[in-house]
């Protein structure tokens, strides 16, 4: 596989000097992506053996590579005992928005750490979800901690859950500035 990747990169290199800027950009992005695929094994080794900072960096590097090949290690990380690892993995899974990741993100709504829950709420806002998931997100509108209800309001707005509008309006009176800010933004994002 490394030979195939290397030959594609070499085929793309001349396009870096193309007269059209859009072609140059596309070639550069393709090369970057292919080089990432070439180093997936190294990234997985860091994820397995690196210190905490390196492991978190490896999770985000997998997110840059994207695709189904990175799904399995990211799902594994989303269930790790270290809160920072779980949180980063949930963040990246949400950004990738691969349908197979949704059940893991829904599971993380029950995480014992608020930071992981908040990231899961945000991540789910990037997916197409059914009424049962919308209802689970709505329960976080009552959190009153300044984080969970804020993220829920924004995710529900991105999901165009107009059923939540009245409850989001109530958040405008929250004691938490972050919640009031998120509620105001959510009302703007919500379809009329």
What's the pLDDT tens digit per position in 88-100?
Answer: 999 999 999 999 9
Residue 124 to residues 38, 69, 91, 93, 154, Cα–Cα distance (Å): 30, 20, 10, 9, 11
**So what's the pLDDT on residue 36?**
65
Mean pLDDT of 182-186: 97
Considering the domain boundaries, does residue 137 fall inside one? no
Mapped onto helix, strand or coil, the DSSP state of residue 21 is: helix
Beta-carbon contacts of residue 85 (< 8 Å; ≥ 6 apart) = 52, 55, 56, 59, 77
Angstrom distance (rounded) from CA 156 to CA 121: 9
Considering the domain boundaries, does residue 21 fall inside one? yes
Considering the domain boundaries, does residue 16 fall inside one? yes
Total domains in the chain come to 1
Considering the domain boundaries, does residue 33 fall inside one? yes
End-to-end, the C-alpha distance of the chain in Å comes to: 50
Considering the domain boundaries, does residue 24 fall inside one? yes
Percent of the chain residues past pLDDT 70, beyond the cut: 97
Considering the domain boundaries, does residue 138 fall inside one? no
At residue 30's C-alpha, the angle toward residues 26 and 32, to 5°, is 120
pLDDT classification of 85: cutoffs 50, 70, 90: very high
List the domain range (segments joined by +) for residue 6.
1-38
Task: Retrieve residue 136's tokens.
Answer: 């689970």
Residue 4 has pLDDT above 90, yes or no: no
**So what's the pLDDT on residue 70?**
92
**So what's the pLDDT on residue 42?**
81
Considering the domain boundaries, does residue 109 fall inside one? no
Angstrom distance (rounded) from CA 180 to CA 58: 35
**What is the DSSP-derived secondary structure letter of residue 163?**
G
**So what's the pLDDT on residue 151?**
98
Considering the domain boundaries, does residue 189 fall inside one? no
Residue 24 to residues 27, 31, 32, 163, Cα–Cα distance (Å): 5, 11, 12, 45
């Amino acid at each position: 596989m490394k030979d195939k990747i290397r030959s594609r990169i070499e085929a793309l290199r001349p396009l870096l000097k193309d007269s059209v800027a859009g072609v140059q950009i596309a070639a550069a992005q393709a090369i970057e992506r292919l080089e990432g695929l070439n180093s997936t094994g190294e990234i997985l080794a860091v994820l397995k053996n690196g210190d905490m900072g390196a492991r978190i960096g490896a999770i985000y590097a997998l997110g840059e590579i994207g695709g189904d090949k990175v799904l399995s290690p990211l799902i594994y990380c989303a269930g790790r005992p270290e809160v920072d690892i779980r949180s980063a993995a949930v963040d990246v899974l949400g950004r990738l928005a691969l349908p197979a990741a949704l059940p893991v993100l829904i599971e993380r709504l029950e995480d014992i750490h608020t930071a992981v829950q908040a990231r899961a709420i945000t991540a789910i806002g990037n997916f197409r979800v059914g009424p049962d998931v919308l209802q689970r997100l709505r329960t976080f509108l009552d959190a009153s901690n300044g984080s969970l209800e804020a993220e829920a309001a924004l995710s529900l707005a991105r999901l165009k859950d107009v059923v939540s509008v009245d409850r989001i309006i109530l958040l405008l009176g929250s004691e938490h500035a972050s919640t009031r800010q998120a509620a105001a933004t959510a009302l703007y994002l919500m379809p009329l």
